[in-house]
Amino acid sequence: MLQIRYPQRRDSGFYECQVSTTPPIGHSMYLSVVEPITIIIGEPDMYIYKGSTINLTCVVKHSPEPPPAIYWTHNSQEINYDSPRGGVSVITEKGDVTTSYLLIQRANTPDSGKYTCNPSNANLKTVVVHVLNGEHPAAIQYGGQLRLQYPVSVFLLSVVVTLIGS
Ligand X SMILES: *[C@@H]1O[C@H](CO)[C@@H](O)[C@H](O)[C@H]1NC(C)=O
CB of 126 to ligand X, least distance (A): 17
**d(Cα 97, Cα 74) in Å, to the nearest integer?**
24
Q: Which is nearer to ligand X, 63 or 141 (CB)?
A: 141
Compute how many residues bind ligand X; rule: CB under 6 A.
Answer: 6
- Binding to ligand X in span 100-159, by CB under 6 A: 101, 103, 152
Q: How far apart are the first and last CA of the chain?
A: 29
CB of 54 to ligand X, least distance (A): 10
CB of 12 to ligand X, least distance (A): 31
The CA–CA distances, whole Å, from 155 to 3, 88, 104, 105, 133 equal: 51, 9, 10, 9, 24
- Binding to ligand X in span 52-71, by CB under 6 A: 55, 57
Q: Which is nearer to ligand X, 100 or 112 (CB)?
A: 100
